[in-house]
Amino acid sequence: MSVVIEQRVSVDAAPKDVFAFLHDPDRRQQWDAMADLARLEDASAPAVGVRLHLRGRRTAPSWVGEYTELAPPRRSVLRLVEGVGMPFAAFSQTVEVAARDGGSAVALRLEYQPRGLGRLVEPIVLRPRLSTAVRKSLASVARHFS
């Protein structure tokens, strides 16, 4: 069974600017509460099929995701392809940016399937940590565009 965490924030910036910021690997550590380094594999820009290596911040694991969907400036989906210490059988991160009231509405959605011991601790450890990380990430996005 999949678990979904989704939160939203409004920012005073055009969707194309917000989307560009969120998908610039050199700037990801400025907003992503779970990653302190990001780099694309064999590419200069995100695209469907391109892999993104993320080094986890503090207790967050490092992982490699692959863009399975990329529709600038509206939506992207990054799916887990490998990760050391990841407690998930499946994991994806969806970013959606929509024009709203002269600015943008940004949604960050995590969808995952815990595995092993992760299934036992998911409601008391994983879900609260990931919810906090999503909230902090979106707060960083809002601060950047304020």
Count of Cβ atoms closer than 10 Å to residue 80 Cβ: 18
d(CA 46, CA 4): 24
Confidence of residue 141 (pLDDT cuts 50, 70, 90): very high
The 10s digit of each residue's pLDDT in 46-88 is: 999 999 999 998 778 899 999 999 999 999 999 999 987 788 9
- Tell me, what CATH number does 65's domain have? 3.30.530.20
By DSSP bridging, strand 3-11 and strand 75-83 are unpaired
> Is the predicted pLDDT of residue 116 greater than 90, yes or no?
no
Is-contact 127 110, C-beta < 8 A? no
d(CA 19, CA 93): 14
d(CA 120, CA 26): 35
User: Could you say which DSSP state residue 102 is in?
Assistant: T
How many independent structural domains does the chain possess?
Answer: 1
d(CA 51, CA 62): 13
The 10s digit of each residue's pLDDT in 33-42 is: 999 999 999 9
Per the structure, the complete domain to which residue 25 belongs is given by 3-144
Is-contact 82 66, C-beta < 8 A? no
Q: Dihedral (C-alpha) 58, 62, 67, 73: value to the nearest 10 degrees? A: 10
Unique residue bearing structure tokens 């780099």: 39
